[in-house]
Amino acid sequence: MKYKNVKWLRFIQIAILVSCILILGLFSCLKLSEFLHPTKYIVSSENIIVVKIPYKKDGEIVEDVLKLPRGTEVEVRETEQTKSTVRYENKIFTIDNHYLADSLDECVQTEYVYPRRLVNLYSEKNGKLSSVIANKGEELKVVSVSGKDLNSQTGVVNWYKVEKEDKTYWINGNYVETTEKLANKTYSGSVVYSTYWDQYYGKNYSKNAYITQVDYKPFAQVSYPDNPIRTDINCVHTNLDTLVAHKEYFMDLKKKTSINSLCIELKGDEGYLWYKSDVPEKYMNTSNVVCDYAILSQKELSKLFKEFQDEGFYIIARLVTFKDPLFAQYDKNAALTDKQGNLLLHNNSYWPSAYSREAWMYNVDIAKEVAACNVNEIQFDYVRFPDGTLQNSLDKTIDFKNKYNESKVSALQGFLMYAKISLMDYQVYVAADIFGWPVVAEDDQDIGQFLPAMASVVDVISPMPYLDHFSKGSMGIEDPTEKPRETLKQFSSVVKRQLDKIESSCIYRTWIQGYSCSSEDIKNEIYGINDLDYEGYMIWYGNGNPNDLDKIKDGFIDSKIEEE
């Protein structure tokens, strides 16, 4: 018996010894490989370097063009005095040694950055916006860059620490270029706009408002692995109260119709939040009123949305942005007022100014809080100035709090850029609603909503071409309310024409009218969208009361266009 135990003990000892030898050998091989073929990183003052690799094809020399973002790892095969042979994704090529660095911290060799548009500098990384601005093309000295802030997939530096007037600030890399020439490069060459408002505000007003002050360089297309971008969203709108009261009804919509998404109002146009938020107390002295009608905690909200996501729903959180009388009343310095500083009651509501950075930060802080509650997309509604203020502007009886002398279009684009950058870490998509008529008019209708400017920033643009919003004869249609398919087809063609003139990969997912419509009307609106090779829709029928939705749910068809 003892002999057998000794035998097993020796076997175990030999097995352990062999394992150690194998592990040591493997480790040595890795170390040797690392020694013989060390890892280097692409370094550059630009986001991307272009490498041309010549090879023979059909007896002729052709070139394979390789784009390498700075921060890209390459394996060095052979090093000479000025050049090295490296390997990347099974491609072997020669590259100058000054493009190679030993660490990520050495990859960014940028002395100055230059904004592509007016931008507020941050007081700290990912912190609040300061009141200090940098103008388009302005030279900002780079103080430092961390390798942790380099996106090696795109070569974009997320954050630069910069200096202005002997003080240090932070600026996000999505705003800037590394040369003044690139910062002033025009991306708006094909953008078409109406000069209608020149007759009121003066010659070249429209060009300055829609082109000069706007950044048309699109954000890089993104699709988050755990939240892939989708075009086939068939959605109905509801508010949180209705969703909680009729949870099973909305769950069944996915089983009985082609609805696969819900757009839920979490912040309404009176400024109230329907969940218990921690944000208002940071901005208002008596913040509790904002959550007076809250029905769920953040934890409960997150749990509810997760239940719907587990059933296959794509969750969109709708936030009313610049129609917010509660915020306006608590911060007059951020609100529309008369010249004496009194709040301006316009269309029976007080309005924060979309120029106000305080209003920007308040709404984006709410969006970040919501983004952490299992949502796929944040949708900003009322991203606009109030309509009908032309005479007030001409009479100078309104103070818009336009501290930086921006156009309304520039201010709204600036807000959306700030929101997009702030929400990237949450891996949610950013959407914005836009009135239908500015799209057709190809200007901003004096409310700041200009389709190409907004679509250059957001992931999803959602116009509101409701049939009863168009007068007879609009877009050449005798009565749009009687021609739902033709109306949505013509409107979508107007959108397509404008989106085709910018480089953005923004998704067009339009609202369609549900109220005062039949199921056949709903289907025809969807067919009209499909006629232009678009898919996806959102149905507006107020608060999404089940009794209302039941009348038209036979129209909730799938908008997905099948590939041939």
Answer yes or no: do 83 and 101 share one domain: yes
Q: Is position 414 within any domain?
A: yes
Share of the chain above pLDDT 90, in %: 77
Answer yes or no: do 170 and 298 share one domain: no
Per-residue pLDDT band at 22 (split at 50, 70, 90): low
Nearest Cα to Cα of residue 522 among 511, 531, 530, 514 = 514
Dihedrals phi, psi of 503, to nearest 5 degrees: -90, 0
Q: Is position 21 within any domain?
A: no
How far apart, in Å, are the Cα atoms of 54 and each of 22, 91, 149? Answer: 41, 11, 33
Q: Find out whether 116 and 146 touch, Cβ atoms under 8 Å.
A: no
Q: Find out whether 464 and 511 touch, Cβ atoms under 8 Å.
A: yes
State pLDDT tens for residues 170-188: 999 999 999 999 999 989 9
Q: Is position 538 within any domain?
A: yes
Distance between CA 234 and CA 313 in Å, rounded?
Answer: 10
Answer yes or no: do 501 and 545 share one domain: yes
Q: In what order do the strands lie in the sheet with 140-144?
A: 129-134, 119-122, 167-172, 159-164, 140-144, 112-115, 176-177
Per the structure, how many domains does the chain have?
3
Q: Is position 504 within any domain?
A: yes
Answer yes or no: do 85 and 130 share one domain: no
Q: Is position 211 within any domain?
A: no
Distance between CA 291 and CA 272 in Å, rounded?
Answer: 6
- Collapsed DSSP state (helix, strand, coil) of residue 101: strand
What is the full DSSP assignment across 15-84? HHHHHHHHHHHHHHHHHHHHHHS-EEEE-BSSSEEEEEEEEEETTEEEEEEEEEETT-EEEEEEE-SSEE
User: Which of 53, 75, 106 is the last residue in one of the domains?
Assistant: 106
User: Which of 71, 88, 106 is the last residue in one of the domains?
Assistant: 106
State pLDDT tens for residues 397-422: 999 999 999 999 999 999 999 999 99
Q: Is position 446 within any domain?
A: yes
Answer yes or no: do 78 and 144 share one domain: no
Q: Find out whether 218 and 505 touch, Cβ atoms under 8 Å.
A: yes
Distance between CA 389 and CA 383 in Å, rounded?
Answer: 16
Answer yes or no: do 86 and 128 share one domain: no
Share of the chain above pLDDT 70, in %: 93
Q: What stretches of 57-194 show up as alpha helix (H) in DSSP?
A: 180-183
State pLDDT tens for residues 109-152: 889 999 999 999 999 998 999 999 999 999 999 999 988 898 88
Average pLDDT over residues 223-236: 95
Answer yes or no: do 179 and 256 share one domain: no
Answer yes or no: do 148 and 293 share one domain: no
User: Which of 164, 183, 202 is the last residue in one of the domains?
Assistant: 183
Distance between CA 264 and CA 274 in Å, rounded?
Answer: 10
Report pTM.
0.89
Q: Which domain holds residue 172?
A: 112-183
Q: Is position 352 within any domain?
A: yes
Q: Is position 279 within any domain?
A: yes
End-to-end CA distance of the chain: 74
Residue 30 has what pLDDT? Answer: 43
User: 337 is written with which tokens?
Assistant: 């007022």
Answer yes or no: do 308 and 393 share one domain: yes
Distance between CA 387 and CA 347 in Å, rounded?
Answer: 9
Answer yes or no: do 258 and 116 share one domain: no
Answer yes or no: do 49 and 138 share one domain: no
Answer yes or no: do 395 and 541 share one domain: yes
Q: Using CB atoms within 10 A of its CB, is residue 55 exposed (0-12), middle (13-18) or buried (19+)? A: exposed
Q: Looking at residue 429, which CATH number applies to its domain? A: 3.20.20.80
Average pLDDT, the chain: 92
Residue with tokens 């007076």: 292
Residue 32 has what pLDDT? Answer: 45
Q: How many CB atoms lie within 10 A of CB 454?
A: 26
